[in-house]
């Protein structure tokens, strides 16, 4: 049965901030998968990437499987690359609705510090390339797409409306 809300999107799209506030409003637990990985491995995401991106992706996939099978009624914020492994999405969809938070790349770039984001050390062009490479994967994975172009409260309100409408329709399979 689906009970989780799973937030996906580019790094800097607002998943963690929106997820925290959304979970508070829904009185539901919140898990940021990157922070969860860091706490389990006692290493930063950057340190895991230094081992290799493939190593990080393997750890990320294991965490997705674990969370999909162990948590309920939770708001999950996933790392931007979670969609690169289709199995991650399949597992997360078994117990949750996937919400793609789409945000303009220029807005993302203005707000994030690229030096703390392993895949963005090359700057704005790299961010555009990642968006181009991933946009179709995000759209295909999503049960619902919300554009993060206004306030956080507006985005949260859209997600809550979708969630309530889905539950009321009985789509809680």
Going by the annotation, the residues of the binding site are 12-17, 34, 57, 80, 117, 134
- pTM over 0.85? The answer is yes
Q: With 0-12 CB in 10 A as exposed, 13-18 as middle and 19+ as buried, what is 21?
A: middle
Domain assignment present for 62: yes
Domain assignment present for 13: yes
Going by the annotation, the residues of the binding site for ATP are 12-17, 117
C-alpha 125/C-alpha 76 separation (Å) is 28
Name which residue leads in pLDDT, 42 or 119.
42
Output the domain CATH number for residue 124: 3.40.50.300
pLDDT digits (tens, 9 = 90+) for 6-62: 999 998 899 999 999 999 999 999 999 999 999 999 999 999 999 999 999 999 999
Domain assignment present for 173: no
Domain assignment present for 49: yes
Number of domains forming the structure of the chain: 1
Domain assignment present for 110: yes
Residue 129's domain spans which residues?
4-168
Domain assignment present for 8: yes
Domain assignment present for 63: yes
Going by the annotation, the residues of the binding site for Mg(2+) are 16
Going by the annotation, the residues of the binding site for substrate are 34, 57, 80, 134
Q: What percent of the chain has pLDDT over 70?
A: 90
pLDDT digits (tens, 9 = 90+) for 152-167: 999 999 999 988 787 6
pLDDT at residue 115 in the model: 47
Of 19-33, 60-74, 107-121, 129-143, where does mean pLDDT reach its minimum?
Answer: 107-121
């Amino acid at each position: 049965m689906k009970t989780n809300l799973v937030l996906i999107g580019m790094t800097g799209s607002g998943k963690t901030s929106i997820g925290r506030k959304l979970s508070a409003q829904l009185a539901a637990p919140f898990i940021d998968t990157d922070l969860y990985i860091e706490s389990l491995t006692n290493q930063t995401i950057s340190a895991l990437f230094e081992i290799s991106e493939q190593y990080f992706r393997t750890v990320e996939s294991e965490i997705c499987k674990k969370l999909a099978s162990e948590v309920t009624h939770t708001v999950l914020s996933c790392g931007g690359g979670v969609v690169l492994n289709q199995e991650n999405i399949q597992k997360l969809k078994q117990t949750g609705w996937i919400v793609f938070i789409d945000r303009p790349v220029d807005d993302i770039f203005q707000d994030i510090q690229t030096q703390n984001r392993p895949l963005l050390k090359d700057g704005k062009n790299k961010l555009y390339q990642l968006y181009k490479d991933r946009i179709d994967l995000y759209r295909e994975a999503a049960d619902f797409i919300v554009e993060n172009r206004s306030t956080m409260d507006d985005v949260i309100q859209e997600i809550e409306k979708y969630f309530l409408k889905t539950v009321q329709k009985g789509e809680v399979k």
